Structure 1
Amino acid sequence: MTKTGARVTALDQMLRDSGLASRPAKRSPRLPELPEAARSAVMRLYRQLGGVLDEPELRPGSWDLAYDDVIVELDEEMHFNRYRAATLGVSAIASAPWAAAYDDFCRAHERRSGTGGRRWSSPSAERMFGAAAPHWTFERGGAPRWKQRALYDAMKDIASAAGVVRLSRVSVYDMVEGVRLEDLLRGRAFVDPSVLRTFVDSRALSVHR
């Protein structure tokens, strides 16, 4: 399991309590490993976000949580902003079961994406997208790290739509039986683990061939 924090650990425990069997999470796919149509979709999105490299080396992080029949990604505050919203319109994932809710979260919670540390930019992000603009300025280079994170999330989505994995995305902003998932993960509220599992299942992208 990728060590992304206490909330991922809490989600994993709840899902294992619901009966899901965990397994080691493999690294996420690299561009050459995707089907041709998926590779093309990723590269179009890279250009739309302002990518400057002819042949970028795209290396999204490992999957958050892996179980026998589903990969689960927990999206925390930094994943929701205008660049992520732009990726949700890609035809391969526009109908994903998380897309509509995520679009709302991107519009409502962008200020929580943050600028501290390397949240706004980083050397690797600037190599991919060019120099950053001043904080909270979206003309010219905008926020390279926000763009990089949005691209990597979308790359995982596109891989799922291509049938590489069965992916379920959930967010700290989601409501489960009237309770915000953030509160469940922080131990401030409780629902039966089976209810959470049903919600996670409802967010899994099913690919029909």
Structure 2
Amino acid sequence: MAGQRQRQSRLQGLLTDLGRKPAGVRPPAPRLDNMPAEAAERVLELFRALGGTAESMVVFRPGVWDIVLADGSLVELDEEQHFNRYRRMSLEPAWAESLPWTDDYRRYCDEHEMASLRKASRGGYWASPSTERMFGPADPPGTFGPSGSPRWKQRALYDAMRDALAAAGAVRLSRVAVWDELGGTTLARVLDDRAEADHEALAELVALRST
């Protein structure tokens, strides 16, 4: 399996083949204090639903956008570790219904949590000091007790920050997943160079998943 950066680079190359060239300048990463008020409140509601409290409130610091295109569009590539019960929770609110990836992503969360466990149940994938400050001490790796995985919760929260911006119309976002079917195979196999890319199918997928 290729690494995350390799997969992103491969996806960027395929988009470039389609004439979707990368931007010269990246927009800033999402931050709560720069979000529309309604979107920020939606993120805070999820933070509380995941077990965050006023006492554990810290600055939310998602990473930069995966792919930024010259036309201003953003593309996020979601790998195996993104699909689990906490991400499913982030897609339950009514405001998420309008997002073009919600139905597929809910299904992937239901069907592929074991793959998330195989990839992300150890070390910093499961918990870290910073994520435990946000959501409390972790359960043992792979155990979903009262605490579960603080890192998984943080990842779901940060994905929801991007979703909330898209739902508010603040960004033009497309999400694609390693589990997406692409010309008779999966996007994961294409990005790992284990299957040929179907450029037409990729163009259709990105268009269907764009806000």
Q: Cα deviation per residue 1:91-123 (whole Å; 9 max; x = unaligned)?
A: 222231111111111111112222122111111
Query: Which of 172, 176, 182 is residue 182 of structure 2 equivalent to?
Result: 176
Quick one: distance in 2 between partners of 1:118 and 1:111? 18
Amino acid at match of 2:39: A
1:73 is paired with a residue whose SS is: strand
Query: Which of 80, 103, 115 is residue 100 of structure 1 equivalent to?
Result: 103
Q: Is the 8 A contact 1:52 1:130 kept in 2?
A: no
2:176 is paired with a residue whose SS is: strand
Q: Cα deviation per residue 1:125-151 (whole Å; 9 max; x = unaligned)?
A: 101101101122222211000000000
Moved more, 87-96 or 40-49: 87-96
Quick one: distance in 2 between partners of 1:123 and 1:90? 29
* TM-aligned CA deviation for residue 158 of structure 1: 0.3
Which residues in structure 2 correspond to 1:121-160 (within 5 Å)?
A: 121-160=127-166
Q: Is the 8 A contact 1:27 1:61 kept in 2?
A: no
Amino acid at match of 1:92: W
Q: Note the residue ranges of structure 1 that are not aligned, 5 or more in a row.
A: none
Q: Note the residue ranges of structure 2 that are not aligned, 5 or more in a row.
A: none
User: Residue 6 of structure 1 aligns with which residue?
Assistant: 6
1:140 is paired with a residue whose SS is: coil
Quick one: distance in 1 between partners of 2:130 and 2:169? 29
2:77 is paired with a residue whose SS is: strand
Quick one: distance in 1 between partners of 2:33 and 2:92? 23
* TM-aligned CA deviation for residue 124 of structure 1: 1.0
Q: Is the 8 A contact 2:122 2:141 kept in 1?
A: no
Count of aligned pairs between the two proteins: 203
Quick one: distance in 2 between partners of 1:62 and 1:180? 25
Task: Name the Cα RMSD after superposition.
Answer: 1.5
Query: Which of 60, 63, 86 is residue 61 of structure 1 equivalent to?
Result: 63
Amino acid at match of 2:16: R
User: Residue 40 of structure 2 aligns with which residue?
Assistant: 39
Q: Cα deviation per residue 1:30-84 (whole Å; 9 max; x = unaligned)?
A: 1111111111111000000001344431111110001114100000011010000
2:75 is paired with a residue whose SS is: strand
Q: Is the 8 A contact 2:182 2:198 kept in 1?
A: no
Amino acid at match of 1:58: F
Q: Cα deviation per residue 1:145-176 (whole Å; 9 max; x = unaligned)?
A: 00000000011100111112101000000002
What TM-score, normalized by structure 1, do the two folds share? 0.92
Q: Is the 8 A contact 1:28 1:156 kept in 2?
A: no
Quick one: distance in 1 between partners of 2:130 and 2:36? 25
Quick one: distance in 1 between partners of 2:208 and 2:103? 13
Quick one: distance in 2 between partners of 1:130 and 1:184? 38
Where has structure 1 moved over 4 Å in runs of 4 or more? Answer: none
